[in-house]
């Protein structure tokens, strides 16, 4: 059966493929940053001292970008394993644990009950949470970027992960998979 036919038969497969697209986009951004491109690094919501190290290409951050790129590659493979026939060889419990955990953390990051996210950004922009001394304008700019770009991206990405997990939970081993 072709991928298009499988998607028509299993509409939640769109979630897995959407997860792949978001994961690949994030991974490619991290690869570009590891190779020296700015690629939105100046919009990363970090405390001022860490932001300076990031923009100065501190070896710790370059290494972190390479690691995040590798994690993104694994993420693409995990998402694909939930809908592709070769994924039947991956233990279902591992797929469920990874998809639910990653989805939950991303949704939590998007809302940001502590730090950045919809809540944290709103607190900074309304003045209810004071930004670090001497960095008020930078904190507000980064909060705006996070509120308009990063938090919605992490929310959509997290919801795609959780929809993928939910579909995998609901279907069991719908393609002939053994129960967990």
Is residue 88 within 8 Å of residue 168, measured between CB atoms? no
pLDDT of 179 reads 41
Check residue 8 and give its pLDDT.
Answer: 55
Q: Where are the domains of the chain?
A: 3-171
**pLDDT for position 177:** 41
d(CA 49, CA 58): 12
Specify the pLDDT at position 46. Answer: 78
pLDDT on residue 159:
97
Q: What is the pLDDT of residue 1?
A: 59
Q: Which of 58, 16, 53 is nearest to 161 (CA)?
A: 16
Cα–Cα distance between 143 and 114 in angstroms, integer? 13
Condensed to tens digits (0 to 9), the pLDDT of residues 101-148 reads: 999 999 999 998 766 899 989 998 998 888 777 778 888 888 999 999
| Residue 39: per-residue pLDDT | 80
Low-confidence residues in the chain, pLDDT < 50: 174-180
């Amino acid at each position: 059966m072709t991928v298009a036919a499988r998607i028509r038969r299993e509409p939640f497969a769109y979630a897995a493929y959407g997860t792949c697209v978001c994961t690949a986009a994030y991974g490619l951004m991290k690869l570009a940053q590891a190779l020296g491109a700015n690629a939105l690094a100046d919009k990363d919501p970090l405390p001022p001292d860490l932001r300076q190290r990031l923009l100065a290409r501190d070896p710790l951050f370059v290494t972190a970008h390479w690691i995040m790129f590798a994690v993104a590659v694994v993420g693409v493979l995990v998402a694909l394993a939930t809908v592709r026939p070769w994924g039947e060889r991956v233990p279902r419990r591992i797929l469920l644990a990874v998809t639910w955990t990653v989805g939950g953390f991303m949704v939590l990051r998007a809302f940001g009950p502590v730090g950045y996210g919809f809540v944290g950004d709103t607190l900074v922009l309304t003045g209810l949470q004071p930004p670090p001394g001497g960095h008020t304008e930078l904190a507000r700019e980064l909060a705006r970027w996070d509120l308009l770009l990063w938090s919605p991206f992490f929310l959509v990405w997290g919801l795609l992960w959780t929809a993928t997990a939910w579909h995998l939970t609901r279907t069991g081993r719908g393609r002939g998979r053994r129960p967990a």
